[in-house]
Structure 1
Amino acid sequence: MVKKSIIKENAYYDSVTLMLISSEVNAMEGVENAAVMMGTDQNKDLMYDSGLIDDKDLEHINANHMVIGVLAQSEEIADQVIEKVNMSLDQKKTSTAGGAVRTKTASSAVNKLGTANMTIISVPGRFAKNEAMRAMDLGLNVLLFSDNVSLEEEIELKKVAVEKQLLLMGPDCGTAIINGVSLGFANKVARGHVGIVAAAGTGLQEASVIVDRYGAGISQALGTGGRDLKKEVGGMMMLMGIEALIEDDETKVILIVSKPAAKEVMDQVIDKLMETSKPKVLCILGGERQTSKENGVYYAETLEDAGIIAARLSQGKEDITTYFSKDKSEIESIVYNESAKFKSNQNYLRGLYAGGTLTYESMLVARDIIGETYSNTPLKSSLLLTDVKNSVKNTVLDMGDDEFTNGRPHPMIDTRLRVERIKKEVMDEEVAVILLDCVIGYGANEDPAGDLAKVVKEAKNLAQNEGRHISFVASVCGTEKDIQVRMAQENKLKEAGVIVMDSNAQAARLAALIVNRGAMLESLSWEVN
């Protein structure tokens, strides 16, 4: 086996480009493993753990370096890989794939297109504010995909947006659907009469695909960025988004999705919602549990319930909630059959998520059954992991958080980091269940379930060889109309031995019940739709 690594100084390329090149060279005959990455700490660790770089390389690589690492069956093949990488990078500099108009500034793009009124900005965080300001000066609404933007900069940007009456969705906003056009990470859903404003990217996705699944559709879906409902930001985009949906004739039901908000901000949101007689569904994950339906407000505890209620209201039907879409005997059979195979010391859940809101929801759902979970984005500060590389007891990770995505593609695009973490978690003899999400749609990996299924099979075989059983539980966030096709993704996971549930909430609930060996089954009740 031949190992080669090349370190290129001051050679910046975006992480998605490098991921695609990595996929191409990994498929070459005679290549055992290869990666092309920027030299962030997370990427260095990944390449080192994969045997692509040595100890001596670690101290010389920094985030301004691009690193090519390859393990090949011969010197000749390794050289071919490096040549292929260099050729691909050269082509990237000059290509205009798909007939795209290539310009150097937003103003020149606006001049060429003529009718543009929306832009997506995805640049490193330190450049994001200036680019967003330029766009708004040109009269453009903005979806600000960039993360690592300071709170102070967000407030400044949103004040300008409100003054100009423009949408500033973000920063760190990955999802929106405007007039039937999906932006960022979004799914192909039917047009309809449910309008969504969400301070939660995968929360918006999960709710919208549930609406679609129940035969309804989306009029508009506006992301705000996860910090919009903080006291300091004041819900500026949430309030503007609600106003837009109130005025939109196609929107018959308004759905709000968020994590807990500052009370004074939520009071403003409720006051704004009370300005319309349209039915309103609130899904404030982790907020106070309420059942009131006064003034047309319906409260939902999970994203699934929010989507179902909104869909049915838009169809003129009564609202309904669900606990499991499988009947009780089937759930009992799964829980008891799976947990009976565990050794006595297998007591913990590990959740490895691509979606941040789905991470949060899973911890809320599981808490009622197995108690608190540790995380890099915990429900309580006391449960913050001191080292994200090592899980503790019950742990649920948001692998799309900044500390994992700095210098590399989001895990909804690039499955490699999650694949490596699955391998690591399976080695822990105390792990009983691994919980996963599989998010598909526009912008996402072309076959995430295929990548996950492969490592699940390997992990199950490894555990079995050591006399252990690991349960894998997952859900697929997407529709049959998505390019990856929801059912096809589910089938790949099932064939690998994954238990697939209809929603993230159901998957988290089942995973927790299996870990708990069914101790709470008798006290549960649920409605079957």
Structure 2
Amino acid sequence: MADHVELRTGAYYDSVSLMQVSRSVAAAPGVEAAQVAMATELNLDVIRGMGFDVPDTAAPNDLVVAIRGDDAGVASGQAALDAALAGLRSAATQSAGLGEAPPRRTLGGAVATSHANLALVSVPGRHAVVEAFDAIHAAVSVMVFSDNVPVEDEVRLKDAAAAADVLVMGPDCGTAVVGGVALGFANVVRPGSVGIVAASGTGAQQVMCLLDAAGVGISHCLGVGGRDLSSAVAGRSTRQALAALAADPATETIVVVSKPPAPEVLADLEAYAAGLGKPVHWATLGTGRPDLTSSVEALLAGVEVPVPAWPRWGTTSEPGPDGGSLRGLFCGGTLADEAMLIASRQLGDIRSNIPLRPGLGLGRDLRDAGHVVIDFGDDSLTQGRAHPMIDPSLRLERIAAEAVDPTCGVLLLDLVLGHGAHPDPAPELARAIRAARAAATAGGRVLPVVVSVTGTESDPQRLGSCATVLAEAGAEVFLSNAAATRRAVALVARDGSRTDSGTESSGIGAEQDTTTGEGH
């Protein structure tokens, strides 16, 4: 086998395009392994972890090409690379045609031409602030999908937006639905009267999908960015979004979804919401607070909708002979937070790259022999890479590593469907689950796998189909992330009974037909 590594200076491509290029190169005949990526620190760690020797001169604006195979394989990989990059260049340079005006080069110019009232910014974080200010100065609301934006810039943007009477959704706003139009990562849910304010992407998706399963639709989902309820940002966009939904005739009930908020910010927002004249429910995670599923159940009771038996697919797993440690590998940060809050009640301290409290962080390798939950969508793991809901390769590698780790007792995973996500993620994850369970068996271990799938039957990937594929690979699958977490904790604790002192959701754990996806 031979390794081919080269740097191409000044050849920038976005991470989603390079993910597709890498797959094309890796699929070329005779190629054993391949990675094509910008030379960010994270990507260099990944490529070196694959055994490639990357020159120390690599800089973030360099394109790294790493191909392993026999001589013919390296040659075919390079040919596939050149063809894929040529395709990208061709698509980027296509002319608009003789006599047509050239495309607008600024966001403000595009707004002026289109008369839009909402702009979406998705560029590297260091450039996102300028573009967002351009939208605000054009008097339109803006969704900032970009992450890695400094918090002080977020505050400046939101103060400017309030002064201009427009809304900033973000930065790091992954999910929004405005007037039925999905922006970023969003599920296909029925229209209705519930308005959502979300300082959380996957948390909002979980709430929307649970409501959809109960037959309840939404009017709008206004994302505000994961830091909006922090002390530094102080709920600036949440206040504006609450006021907008309170004034919206199509919205009858409002729910606020958030990762654990700053207590003083939550208290201020609760006082503000009390004067809006519409009922406001709180799906805000935190110690001693209900999980997202319980919050949805409370909302359903408030609008007099029966709580359904939340779907579950797959047969019941048996724990390993020694219990082992919980390993939660998540694409959704809020779902990871929720899992840690639930699991820590029974299991104690859980280490993470997004720890619940100081002192529980992980080292650079993200490894520990104890209970671990990792958010693969955290900013530190997405620099120069597509979000794991699009490109799951880092998590798939970690699943394989946990399979041969004797301290791993249970794998807890999430899978988030909908627009913007991987078009067909279940087969790839199912192969990883099947391989992990087989590797554990070969090592004399039993490895249960529990998965929460956030999605609906109307999503392009189809909830029931994805869940069935995962169940056939040996996983237990739940629509409720809280239910999945409790099941994983029960397997670690080697006890199938209730395992925490929090509110137990009435519908959790109902059996589900693995073929039709319909509850009994």
TM-score by length of 2: 0.90
Alignment partner, residue 244 of structure 1? 244
Distance 2:296 2:500 in 1: 26
State the SS of the aligned residue for 1:381: coil
Aligned length: 501
Match of 1:498 among 472, 475, 478: 475
- In the TM superposition, residue 60 of structure 1 has moved relative to its aligned partner by 2.6
Residue 306 of structure 1, CA deviation: 2.5
Tell me which residue corresponds to 2:516: none
**CA–CA distance in structure 1, aligned partners of residues 436 and 61 of structure 2:** 35
Matched, 1:126 2:115: no
Q: Does structure 2 retain, via aligned residues, the 8 Å contact 1:436–1:475?
A: yes
Give the counterpart of 1:65 among 59, 62, 65.
Answer: 62
Q: Distance between the aligned counterparts of 1:82 and 1:523, measured in 2? A: 52
Instruction: Give 1:293's aligned residue.
Output: none
Partner of 1:426 in structure 2?
403
| Equivalent pair of 2:246/2:277 in contact (CA under 8 Å) | no
SS at match of 1:475: strand
Match of 2:327 in 1: 350
- 8 Å CA contact retained: 2:25, 2:77: no
The 1-side partners of 2:136 and 2:287 are apart by 34
| Distance change >3 Å, CA 356–CA 310, structure 1 → 2 | same
Alpha-carbon deviation of 1:392? 3.7
Q: Quote the offset at 1:66 in angstroms.
A: 0.8
Match of 1:158 in 2: 158
Partner of 1:107: 108
User: Any idea what the Cα deviations from partners look like across 1:390-445, whole Å, max 9, x if unmatched?
Assistant: 23400000110011101111101101011111111222111110110001111101
Instruction: Identify the match of residue 310 of structure 1 among 290, 294, 299.
Output: 299
Q: d(CA) in 2 for partners of 1:308 and 1:500?
A: 20
Distance 1:424 1:102, change over 3 A: farther
Mapping of residues 179-258 of structure 1, within 5 Å = 179-258=179-258
Q: How far apart are 1:282 and its partner, in Å?
A: 0.8
Contact 1:376 1:388 in 2 (8 A): no
Shift of 1:460: 1.5
Q: Distance in 2 between matches of 1:485 and 1:312?
A: 27
Q: CA deviation at 1:521?
A: 4.0
Distance 1:69 1:81, change over 3 A: farther
Separation in structure 1 between the aligned mates of residue 42 and residue 396 of structure 2, nearest angstrom? 14
Are the aligned partners of 1:199 and 1:226 in contact in 2 as well (CA < 8 Å)?
Answer: yes
* 1:299-338 equivalences in 2 (<5 Å): 301-314=290-303, 316-317=304-305, 334=316, 338=318
Q: In the superposition, relative to structure 1, how do residues 261 and 79 fare at CA in structure 2: closer, same or farther (>3 Å)? A: closer
Aligned letter for 2:393?
A: R
Give the whole-Å Cα distance in 1 for the aligned partners of 2:183 and 2:484.
27
CA distance in 1: counterparts of 2:103 and 2:324, whole angstroms: 54
In structure 2, the residue matched to 1:89 is: 88
Q: Distance in 2 between matches of 1:437 and 1:163?
A: 39
The change in CA–CA distance for 1:47 and 1:92 in structure 2 (over 3 A counts) is farther
Residue of structure 2 equivalent to 1:285: 285
* Amino acid of the structure 2 residue aligned with 1:65: D
Q: What is the DSSP-based 3-state SS (H/G/I as helix, E as strand, rest coil) of the residue aligned with 2:116?
A: coil
Residue 431 of structure 2 is matched in structure 1 by 454
Report the Cα distance in structure 2 between the residues aligned to 1:188 and 1:400, rounded to whole angstroms. 22
Secondary structure of 2:359's aligned partner: helix
Amino acid at match of 2:163: E
Bigger Cα displacement from structure 2, 232-241 vs 177-186: 232-241
Q: How big is each residue's C-alpha offset from its partner over 1:216-246, in whole Å with a ceiling of 9 and x where there is no partner?
A: 1010111111111122322111011111111
Q: Tell me the SS of whatever aligns to 2:327.
A: strand
CA shift for structure 1 position 381: 0.8
Residue matched to 2:461: 484
Q: C-alpha deviations, 1:102-139, integer Å up to 9, x for none?
A: 432113322432x2111111112221211111111111
Q: Read off the aligned partner of 1:137 and give its amino acid letter.
A: H
Q: How far apart are the structure 1 equivalents of 2:475 and 2:425?
A: 14
Amino acid at match of 2:403: V
Query: 1:526/1:398 Cα in 2 relative to 1: closer, same or farther (>3 Å)?
Result: closer
Indicate if the aligned counterparts of 2:470 and 2:477 stay in contact, CA closer than 8 A: yes
Unaligned ranges ≥5, structure 1:
290-300
Aligned to 2:76: 77
Deviations 1:26-83 (A, max 9, x none): 33343333221111122112222234x22xx242322221112222441431332232
2:132 aligns to what SS in structure 1? helix
**What is the alpha-carbon distance in structure 1 between the residues aligned to residue 55 and residue 352 of structure 2?**
27
Query: Deviation of residue 507 (structure 1)?
Result: 0.7
Contact 1:217 1:311 in 2 (8 A): no
Counterpart AA for 2:471: K
Letter of the structure 2 residue corresponding to residue 373 of structure 1: I
Q: Distance in 2 between matches of 1:94 and 1:476?
A: 39
Match of 1:527 in 2: 506
- SS state at 1:60 partner: coil
Q: Secondary structure at the match of 1:196?
A: strand
Tell me the alpha carbon deviations over residues 159-209 of structure 1, each in whole angstroms, 9 at most, x when there is no partner: 000011111011111111100001001111111001010111111111011
1:523, distance to aligned residue in structure 2 (A):
8.2
How big is the shift at 1:210?
Answer: 0.8
SS at match of 2:336: helix
Q: Aligned letter for 1:306?
A: S
Structure 1 distance, partners of 2:125, 2:433, is: 34
Normalising by structure 1, we get a TM-score of 0.89
CA contact (8 A) 2:261 2:285 kept: no
Q: SS of 1:265's equivalent?
A: helix
Q: Alpha carbon RMSD of aligned pairs, Å?
A: 2.5
Q: Aligned equivalents of 1:245 and 1:83: distance in 2?
A: 50
Structure 2, unaligned runs of 5 or more: 97-101, 511-520
Are the equivalent residues in 2 in contact too, given 1:44–1:58 (CA < 8 A)?
no
Segment of structure 1 superposing worse, 280-289 or 242-251: 280-289
Following superposition, the deviation at residue 309 of structure 1 comes to: 3.4
Is the 1:194–1:310 contact (alpha carbons within 8 Å) kept by the matching residues of 2? no
SS in 2 for 1:490: helix
User: CA distance change for structure 1 residues 214 and 321 in 2, over 3 Å: closer, same or farther?
Assistant: closer
Three-state SS of the structure 1 residue aligned to 2:160 is helix
Identity %: 38
Whole-angstrom distance in 2 between the partners of 1:416 and 1:146: 21
Q: Secondary structure at the match of 2:384?
A: coil
Q: 1:105 to 1:429 in 2, by over 3 A?
A: same
Code of the aligned partner of 1:338: E
